[in-house]
């Protein structure tokens, strides 16, 4: 079975920002927030203060992953230049997504450069209250004025929009807003990260979200589903339940596998992020091909 990791990150140097202020590398894959909290961001054996494109390629080679989609967010720090550089260096293996903070006063010129100079076809926004814009800006409507011109430009360029809206219960978890965006720009492909990021007790919220967003131009990636289910461990029975529910509601053709490396590798082996799905009785062989390869090709590479 061919594989595309449709949610991965490369990091030239950790430079995050969030609700705890700036996040800076302190060595051995660890980083410290401005408030003093420390986290293991990258497994020490995979990077000291960085997670390079070459390191990601070595993992992909080990597990037979053909391509990866390089997304971005404020958790690691925006990496537009490095992400673009890696996709240019390895065009058969990587495709790059760009990002920006929509509160920047020169956001239009920033987006212009991403779309028209760097020629990026994927734009990703991490709006979540946990690790994104609503962690360090006042709460806002995702379908409101702050993003409207941006979404219009992405749609006109034929781009794919990737959104992280966080987990149920967060101010950023705006299902109706995503619905409104999808309806306003039916020509724009939209991918929602982390299968709506449900935690252990979010079954009803997941069902309602999937039912609402069962739309022709909306897909869901499966990255970090296990991460959000802590303290549950492999083989992630709740994660399997949630993915089966998604298959039953929106169909296998709307689900896209990804891992969210590198931070997820501080808790789980890459192989298990594949096998907890492939070894479960969720998808037929033909559906597995869609989830692990074909759907990503349709959304990101065609």
Q: Where are the domains of the chain?
A: 3-301
Per-residue pLDDT tens digits for 205-254: 999 999 999 999 999 999 999 999 999 999 999 999 999 999 999 999 99
Entry field: residues in the chain: 302
Q: What is the pLDDT of residue 88?
A: 98
Please state the φ and ψ torsions of residue 24, each to the nearest 5 degrees: -130, 145
Q: Does residue 33 have a cis peptide bond before it, meaning omega lies within 30 degrees of 0?
A: no
Per-residue pLDDT tens digits for 185-201: 999 999 999 999 999 99
Question: Mean of the pLDDT values across residues 92-108?
Answer: 97
Cα separation of 117 and 193, whole Å?
26
Per-residue pLDDT tens digits for 37-73: 999 999 999 999 999 999 999 999 999 999 999 999 9
Instruction: Tell which residue, 154, 179, 225, 244, has the closest CA to residue 7.
Output: 225
Q: What is the pLDDT of residue 50?
A: 98
Structure confidence at residue 114 as a pLDDT band (50, 70, 90): very high
| pLDDT exceeds cutoff 90 at 104 | yes
What CATH class does 3-301 carry? alpha beta
| pLDDT exceeds cutoff 90 at 302 | no
Instruction: Sort 36 into a burial class: Cβ within 10 Å, 0-12 / 13-18 / 19+.
Output: exposed
Find out whether 236 and 275 touch, Cβ atoms under 8 Å.
no
Q: How far is CA 189 from the centre of its chain?
A: 14
Instruction: Tell which residue, 97, 80, 77, 86, has the closest CA to residue 13.
Output: 77
Rounded to two decimals, the pTM is 0.98
Per-residue pLDDT tens digits for 73-97: 999 999 999 999 999 999 999 999 9
Q: What is the pLDDT of residue 249?
A: 98
Cα separation of 281 and 117, whole Å?
45
Per-residue pLDDT tens digits for 221-235: 999 999 999 999 999
Q: From residue 60, how far is each of 65, 149, 192, 234, 241 by CA, in Å?
A: 5, 36, 23, 21, 27
Q: How many helices and strands in the chain, by DSSP H and E?
A: 11, 12
Write the CB contacts of 169 (distance below 8 Å, at least 6 apart in sequence). 202, 205
Cα separation of 168 and 291, whole Å?
24
Instruction: Tell which residue, 174, 185, 190, 60, has the closest CA to residue 122.
Output: 190
Q: What is the pLDDT of residue 220?
A: 99
Q: What is the pLDDT of residue 282?
A: 98
Q: How far is CA 297 from the centre of its chain?
A: 16
Q: Report strand pairing: 218-221 vs 189-192.
A: parallel
């Amino acid at each position: 079975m061919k594989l595309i990791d449709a949610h991965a990150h490369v990091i030239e140097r950790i430079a995050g920002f969030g609700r705890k202020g700036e996040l800076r590398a302190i060595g051995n894959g660890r980083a410290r927030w401005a408030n003093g909290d420390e986290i293991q961001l990258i497994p020490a054996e995979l990077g000291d203060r960085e997670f390079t494109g070459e390191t990601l390629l070595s993992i992909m080679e080990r597990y037979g992953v053909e391509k990866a989609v390089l997304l971005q967010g404020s958790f690691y720090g925006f990496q537009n230049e490095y992400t673009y550089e890696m996709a240019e260096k390895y065009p058969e293996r990587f495709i790059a997504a760009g990002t920006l903070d929509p509160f920047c006063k020169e956001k239009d010129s920033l987006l212009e450069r991403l779309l028209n100079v760097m020629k990026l076809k994927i734009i990703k926004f991490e709006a979540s209250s946990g690790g994104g814009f609503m962690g360090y800006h006042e709460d806002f409507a995702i379908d409101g004025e702050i993003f409207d011109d941006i979404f219009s430009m992405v749609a006109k360029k034929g781009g794919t929009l990737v959104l992280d809206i966080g987990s149920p219960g967060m101010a950023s978890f705006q299902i109706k807003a995503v619905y409104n965006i999808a309806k306003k720009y039916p020509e724009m492909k939209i991918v929602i990260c982390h299968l709506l990021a449900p935690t252990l007790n979010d079954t009803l919220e997941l069902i309602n979200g999937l039912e609402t967003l069962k739309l022709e131009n909306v897909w869901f990636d499966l990255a970090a589903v296990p991460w959000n289910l802590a303290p549950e461990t492999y083989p992630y029975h709740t994660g399997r339940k949630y993915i089966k529910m998604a298959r039953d509601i929106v169909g296998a053709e709307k689900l896209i596998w990804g891992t969210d490396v590198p931070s997820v590798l501080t808790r789980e082996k890459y192989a298990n992020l594949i096998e907890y799905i492939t070894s479960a009785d969720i998808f037929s062989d033909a559906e597995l091909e869609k989830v692990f390869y074909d759907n990503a090709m349709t959304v990101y590479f065609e």
